Each structure stands twice: as structure tokens, then as C-alpha cells.
Amino acid sequence: MKPTVVPPYLLARIVEAGDRFDHAARAARVGLDEWRSFAGVRGRPLEAPRTARPTRASGPDRRVSDAGGGDALPGRRVRSEGDPATGDVAVDEAWDGLGATYAFFADAFGRDSIDGAGLPLEATVHYRRDYDNAFWDGERMVFGDGDGEVFGRFTASLSVIGHELAHGVTQYTTALEYQGQSGALNEHVSDVLGALVEQHAAGQTADEATWLIGAGLFTDAVQGVALRSLAAPGTAYDDDVLGRDPQPAHLDDYVVTDEDAGGVHLNSGIPNKAFHLVATALGGRAWERAGRIWWDAITAGTVTPTTDFAGFAAATLEAATARYGVDSDEARAVTDGWAGVGLPLVGA
């Protein structure tokens, strides 16, 4: 049946209003899926015609700048919303990645940009020379080109772009302090959202997904598939220059260190594995239930800047119970997921 009565951009807006109209949003989602299958546009963001008045989610406002190999930020603006591709791979990858991340948050959670109020999405590429890194500076994502020996350019991975923008989301939601367990949770939220951005863009279910962060960053010289794995922390790489992926997958192996702000990029493996367990237990598209629970947890106000692993786990169970019920499959999956990484939850 060809759905023609309600146009897709109106269905998209109803989906976005899911917080207020849950039943209508579910019905609209079914309609949208049917339209997508019919029109063959799975995974692409649906935009209102230009004459329509913009409402909650009006589309991304992307701004990509070029630091030209130096360290002055933001650098020179080289691509703005509506501009065509520039031919500079890093610029165009950043631009595409910003768009895919915007589409994910709008589609999955009805969120208009990282602050929920249409904040412009900013990225700077070609930061410094041989710079093996990407970061969020509080206002924009910043990407290096890598050294060409171990790392290539950091815009080459959509999960990295999603991860960086998600640090902005955290800034506007939980503001988890970037050290110790709260810092590892900050990193964890970015890895989860980064992975989901990639899965959403590819239309993958939890079973089809790689659950890798930063696949495509390494050169061919490195023995490794990615920087991190949510499915199997500690297995993403094993290389004679880099060493072995140091992430733990269980609380028993929590890394105590002064480096990396207390190991925020390492101990994130523990909650990452918990999320993977929840998502694969529930099946289907991970952002629809597991991701929804995590999103509810970080927007409910129960997670604060100093929340630790146990507090975060409790917040996810509270969110699952609120949305799906005490004896639901979802609440049970959340309990089992955290138990699987050494964080058993009491009560429901």
C-alpha cells in the first residue's frame, strides 16, 4: 500500500513529539518506515519542503573550518550549511558526519541538535600537523590528520564524529566530570552514541553492528580493527607499536591510574560492555530500546556531574522501569547487562 495521505515530513515531526504524544509517535513511526521502504530512502533524514514553517527540528546548521595545519581555532570557515562539497576529504567527511549525527538525534530522540535548541554544529579539520587525535573543546569538534604511520585522518570514522559531538550533548545534559568514574561514564556515553550514529546511518540492528569505535583510523601497518570495541573491550587491537587494547570489560579489572584523568578511556569499557549486553539481549535496532533507555537516563536529571558507575546503572534501571514497566524484558535486560560487568542492581 502506498502511504500518501500524511506526508513524511509531518510524520517525522510527530515522531519527534514522542515525549508528549507517545502513542501517536509510535503510529507515525510505522507510517514513516512504510514510506521509507516504498521510497527507498532508508536512513536518510527527511526534511520539510522549503515553504513549510520550521518547528522543533529545523535541520542542521553545519559550519566546518580549516585550521591549515596550525592550532588557532576555529580556523578559516570553508563550508557552511547549504554549501556544496569542497573536494577536501576531511572537510566533506566532517560535514557529512555532522549531518548524520544531527539526523540520528532528531530521528531517535526528537532532539534538535546537541542542545535541543538547534545549536550550530561546528567542526575544525587539519588541526596542527601529524596530530593523532580529535577532541571537543566546549564549542566545536577538532580533528587532526594523523601521522600517516599509525593513524590516518580522524574524520574517517563516523563513530569518532558522533563520539565528539556527544561530548557536547553531555555538556548540555549530565555534565559528567571528566575524571575517574564520572569521566569514564562521560566517555561511555560518547562511545554509545557514536556507535549508534554509525548503526543508524547504516540501518543496522544490534546483531548486524560491529560495535567498534574508530574503525578506519589505523593505517594498514597496525594490527587492529579499531580503537575500541563495545562488544569485546580489550580486543580491538594488539600491535607491537601500540601495544594491546587495554580496556577492561568487568569491574574486577578496573584500571587505577593517574594518567588519562584516571583512565577515562579505559574504564569506559565496563559500562560499554553493559550497554552491548542490553542491546543484544533486546535485539532489533539498538537505538530504539537500549539507546532510548540510556537517553532517558541522561536527560532525566538523575545523573549528575559526579555520578559513579553504580549510580549510573541505577539511573538506567529507573529509566527502563519508567518507560517499560517493572517486570518488562527491558528492565530485566538492563539488570542482566550491569550484572554481567560486575555491577549487580538491587530492586527494580
Residue 294 CA to chain centroid, in angstroms? 11
Given the complex with other proteins, which of 141 and 281 has the nearer CB atom? 141
Query: Shortest approach of other proteins to residue 48 CB, angstroms?
Result: 33
Where on the chain is the footprint of other proteins (CB under 8 A)? 132-138, 154, 160, 163-164, 167, 170, 178-179, 186-187, 190, 214, 227, 241-244, 246, 255-261, 263-266
CB 266 to other proteins: min, Å: 6
Beta strands in 67-144 (DSSP E): 76-80, 121-125, 134-136, 141-143
Q: Amino acid letter at 285?
A: R
Q: Which of 311, 256, 252, 249 is nearest to 274 (CA)?
A: 249
Matching residue, cell 536518510: 44
* Cβ atoms of 32 and 15 closer than 8 Å: yes
Q: Are the CB atoms for 225 and 212 separated by under 8 Å?
A: yes
Per the annotation, the verdict on 187 as an active-site residue is no
Helix axes 180-202, 309-324, angle to 10 degrees: 40
- Of the residues 16, 164, 198, 318, only one is catalytic, namely 164
Where does 68-179 have alpha helices with state H? 89-109, 158-172
Residue closer to other proteins, measured from CB, 172 or 178: 178
Own/partner contacts of 111-114, CB < 8 Å, gap of 24 or more, are 111/57, 111/169, 112/56, 112/57, 112/58, 113/60, 113/61, 114/165, 114/166, 114/168, 114/169, 114/171, 114/172
- Smaller CB distance to other proteins: residue 243 or 347? 243
Please give the grid coordinates belonging to residue 171.
Answer: 555538556
CB of 268 to other proteins, least distance (A): 8
Minimum CB separation of residue 260 from other proteins in Å reads 5
CB 234 within 8 A of CB 218: no
* Between 268 and 280, CB nearer to other proteins: 268
Residue 226 in contact with residue 242, Cβ under 8 Å? no
Closer Cβ to other proteins, 35 or 237, answer by number: 237
Number of H helices, E strands in the chain: 10, 9
Report CA torsion sign: 178, 344, 332, 338.
Answer: positive
Residue placing its CB nearer to other proteins in the complex, 59 or 214: 214
Pick the closer one to other proteins by CB: 55 or 133: 133
User: Is 23 one of the annotated active-site residues of the chain?
Assistant: no
> Which residue in the list 126, 188, 200, 265 is annotated as catalytic?
265
Nearest to 43, CA basis, from 203, 236, 240, 204: 203
Q: How far is the CB of 241 from other proteins (least distance, A)?
A: 6
Catalytic residues: 164, 265
